[in-house]
Amino acid sequence: MGRVVVGVSVSVAAVACAVAATVVVRRMRSRKKWNKVVGVLRELEEGCDTTVGRLRQVVDAMAVEMHAGLASEGGSKLKMLLTYVDNLPKGTERGTYYALDLGGTNFRVLRVHLRDQQSSVLEHEVEKQPIPQVLMTSTSEDLFHFIASSLKEFIEKEGDGSELSPDRRRELGFTFSFPVKQMSVSSGILIKWTKGFSIVDMVGRDVPAYLQEALTRKGLDMRVAALVNDTVGTLALGHYHDADTVAAIIIGTGTNACYLERTDAIIKCQGLLTTSGCMVVNMEWGNFWSSHLPRTLYDIDLDAESPNPNDQGFEKMISGMYLGDIVRRVILRMSLESDMFGPISSKLSIPFILSTPKMADMHEDVSPDLREVARILKDILEIPEVPLKVRKIVVKVCDVVTRRAARLAAAGIVGILKKIGRDGSGGITGGRRSDMKMKRTVVAIEGGLYSSYTLFREYLHEALNEILGEDIAKHVILKVTKDGSGIGAALLAASHSSYNVDTVQLL
């Protein structure tokens, strides 16, 4: 009997040892899988590192590239396009002006009433119209006939109370969000179509001329006073409300910047004269590139697979079009390295399936169990039942990608300030001067990535303070504007009116 008991005990011990060994092996395998996921995160953090020193290198590179782009055509990745806008609205404009905003598959018509000096709220009406798809690939005559007809209907709704005096033509600001080489404040040559448009007879032609002809054919006594880029419109709106506004940034689905430059600094166009001595320059900063930008394998792959490889490098690192997809690529890499996310979802291989707004929702999920992260992973990427610790990793990935984007955007802004001597250093060639009296500097900013994404905005402001130092940064104010592409265009029509705006009678 004793031998039986001993035998049973030995068997039980052996089983217990085997079970313990199995548990240990499983834990070791689980830890190894976890370490692989963490390793991918650590590698991402290192690749996206934006120390203050590195950001200042980006600042210097931006200022140098701006200088080169102003010196000669093609001298820089930055196009530094002349806008011929030399007279920004001051808040003294009075009267009624119009804007036409053609930026994609819809266009908008606006009427803006300027009544009070620097009114904080502009009185305006907006009408939005979809463009029939057939017109996007038809002829210029068909497209602008449709637009002019819609504009005429909009004007006819004004009634007798809004009629202008008989000797006064209506004036229009035209926002045209396609690549254009500006020839004057009211003319520009279409370089190419984007966003699904393909009207062959317009390429290489003066766009406002087509609109002006269509308006004349419809019997509208209206002059196209300004051809406007949406960034320039944002600057105009910012300057209308605050005369210290010297630059404008759009950080949304895409990104761009413009600023007010001294005319004598635009070397590639010698002899250029303006009444103000300044001109707004459209940087097209999405195409900025520098070896100091912290680029990862995910950025390289995204760029290579994009419709425009080796183009818009800065935009692909900081704008809303791309941030969600960078996060998707990181999650895919983690899924390939480990099964912590479960079986690899086919959705992870679909470019842009994870939008930046959804990424932001995950990033800003403050629930204890990160239920919003779990919902988005399940509903969009078809990754169900993700452990909490893995959800936390996903939030961290969103944080790393967003923080890099915001801090690089901040460096770009400081680069502009450095070029025009508003960063406390005395300009592009000066050293930092603590004795310089800083001017109040306002940057108008528009776009959902900045206005709607709290953590992005906080990281951008944090970086501005770090780069400039608090003593300088307190003089730099970022002001959100709304609808610069529409209202700003009407304001530019006012500031470039053929009439003396100071003598225009109120309507």
Active site residues: 108, 177, 230
Which residue, chain included where needed, has tokens 């983690």?
334
Tokens of 219: 């019997």
Tokens of 455: 């953590």
Triad 430, 436, 439: Cα angle to 5° = 105
Burial of 361 (C-beta count, 10 Å sphere; 0-12/13-18/19+): middle
Cα–Cα distance, 191 to 284 (Å, whole number)? 14
**Stretch (H or E) spanning 106:** strand 106-114
Report the relative pairing of strands 106-114 and 476-480 from DSSP bridges.
unpaired
**Stretch (H or E) spanning 478:** strand 476-480
CB neighbour burial string for 301-334, b if at least 16 within 10 angstroms, e if fewer? ebbeebeeeeebbbbbbbbbbbbbbbbbbbbbbb
Tokens of 472: 């300088």
Which residue, chain included where needed, has tokens 């200022």?
63
Cα–Cα distance, 342 to 172 (Å, whole number)? 57
Tokens of 124: 């305006």
Which residue, chain included where needed, has tokens 């960078």?
326
Task: Report the length, in residues, of the chain.
Answer: 507
Cβ partners under 8 Å of residue 181, min gap 6: 81, 188, 189, 191
Q: Which of 227, 314, 316, 263 is nearest to 496 (CA)?
A: 227
Cα–Cα distance, 298 to 325 (Å, whole number)? 9
The 10 Å Cβ neighbour count of residue 20 is 10
Half-sphere exposure for 300 (CA within 13 Å, toward CB):
6
Cα–Cα distance, 388 to 370 (Å, whole number)? 7
